[in-house]
Chains A and B, each alone.
Chain A
Amino acid sequence: MSGLPSPGATGEQISVGVLALQGDFEAHRAVLERLGVSVREVRVPADLERLDGLVIPGGESTTITLGIERESLAEPLRAFHRAGKPIFGTCAGLIMLDRDHLGLIDIRAERNAFGRQVRSFEAPLEIGLAGGPVEAIFIRAPWIAEHGPNVEILGQVDGHGVAAREGSVLVVAFHPELGDDDRVHALFLQGVRDARLAAA
């Protein structure tokens, strides 16, 4: 659905990490590789070195929270964000980035907001991307219950935010990594390239 991103401004390959403590990190890896960037799985703080951006995947937010604690990853992740490097969270990743967890985007996520697995669904969702709505897959998904003034809500279901952006952080409550539509990842990678240009 989208063109391959060109190499970064410095001519070096863009390198993106995927937090791989638990969850569908391999699905994200596949999409990112399809889009032509180099991907590294992140399990310990040292894995964050020299990355240009990071994806926090879907999975079980409790499990990932405990994993971040066990690996002492919270402070390194916050430092990564302070360095201006973009972070993209999907589903559990959205929860991990909210006020109650890493606190890198000014939202409060409501976990399992749509209900148990029998309420999981797919639906076309307008989030303002060229080419029209994305096919959004919601699995035991959260929604954004509250957000601060600097958060831009990009998409809604039943009046609740399910996609949002603040500065270099992009979050969605659904799973673009499970479909064939790479536009949301391409949007994130655009941010990664812009951040690298700005830093160069």
Chain B
Amino acid sequence: MRDESTFKVKAGLAEMLKGGVIMDVIDQEQARIAEAAGACAVMALERVPSDIRRDGGVARMSDPEMIQSIQQSVTIPVMAKARIGHFAEAGVLEALEVDYIDESEVLTPADEANHIDKWSYKVPFVCGATNLGEALRRIGEGAAMIRSKGEAGTGDIVEAVRHLRTINGEIKRLGGLSEAEIATAAKEHAAPLELVRAVALSGRLPVVMFCAGGIATPADASLVMQLGAEGVFVGSGIFKSAEPEARAAAIVEATTHYDVPERVLRASEGLGAAMDSIESRKLEESELLSNRGW
């Protein structure tokens, strides 16, 4: 009588995260700070994206012991990242019983042709997307939550804005298409027809969409929420800033009151320096993370 891990249950957890901030943390202390600041979940990883960028080398799934130590230190959901296409890492994360697996372009891809078949896991997956077709392909593979990719580890919001505007613009343009035009649109987006049809009818993605990649300030969070994100991931933006506790709480506050400038102002005051940033336009093609995955 009891059905565990149905798609409703997987996509439902993302519904519970809405309006919240998911924070990258690398140890128990950061996890506790994130929870105390009001994070709705944490992403356990060994290096935040800005360090992955700096250090280079292959970025892999985090040490299971480190993920477990974080699971033991907080009661909010704990997510962890697997490399694109690395279904064995996903298997390990499922065995660890993480609450969500992020098949993430921030790690070095393990398969250049195939993403993970996410239907075959009990743990739900979140995946990045830069456009509607990419989002629907991931959902077609079983993703229960989408995040716009942005350009992780830069502190530059411009790519996040581009991806959100692209996805939402493409959703809007599906509205009002005839059945024949929907079939053509599915071909153009290289996405499953039934998902394209569902989006055309409902005017929204069939799962929750957060924004990631480049959020460094409360105003950044407000911006992407106003552009239609349903919550935010903050990676390097918090623990690479001068005062992580204050900035974490401020981004939570600005995400709740994203459409009230006076509250975003109040949240923005007295936070010290933001993370060191990189203008994403200055990055070489080979340094871009958002190009990974297809």
B256 at the binding interface (Cβ < 8 Å): yes
Q: Which residues of A contact B (CB under 8 A)?
A: 20-27, 43, 58-60, 62-63, 66-67, 70, 91-92, 111-112, 115-124, 137-140, 175, 178-179
Determine whether the beta carbon of A22 is less than 8 Å from that of B40: yes
Tell me how far the C-beta of A158 lies from the nearest C-beta in chain B, rounded to whole angstroms: 10
**Which residues on the A side are within 8 Å of B38 (C-beta)?**
22, 62-63, 66-67, 70
Determine whether the beta carbon of A121 is less than 8 Å from that of B9: yes
Determine whether the beta carbon of A120 is less than 8 Å from that of B4: yes
Give 19 CB contacts A-B under 8 Å: A20-B19, A22-B19, A22-B256, A23-B18, A23-B20, A25-B18, A25-B19, A60-B17, A63-B76, A67-B38, A111-B75, A117-B99, A117-B124, A118-B4, A120-B10, A121-B2, A122-B3, A140-B77, A178-B12
Tell me how far the C-beta of A23 lies from the nearest C-beta in chain B, rounded to whole angstroms: 6
Of B3, B15, B77, the residue contacting A117 (CB under 8 A) is B77
Given A60-B41, A63-B38, A139-B9, CB of A21 within 8 Å of CB of B16? no
Please report which residues of chain B, range 19-75, place their CB below 8 angstroms from some CB of chain A when the two chains form the complex: 19-20, 35-41, 75
Determine whether the beta carbon of A137 is less than 8 Å from that of B8: yes
Of A20, A59, A116, A138, the residue contacting B99 (CB under 8 A) is A116
Q: Which residues of B contact A (CB under 8 A)?
A: 1-6, 8-10, 12-13, 15-20, 35-41, 75-77, 94, 97-100, 122-124, 252-253, 256-257
Tell me how far the C-beta of A154 lies from the nearest C-beta in chain B, rounded to whole angstroms: 18
**Which residues on the A side are within 8 Å of B75 (C-beta)?**
62, 111-112
Determine whether the beta carbon of A120 is less than 8 Å from that of B9: yes
10 more A-B contacts (CB under 8 A) besides A70-B253, A116-B98, A118-B4?
A23-B20, A24-B16, A59-B17, A59-B40, A60-B41, A62-B75, A63-B20, A120-B5, A121-B9, A137-B8
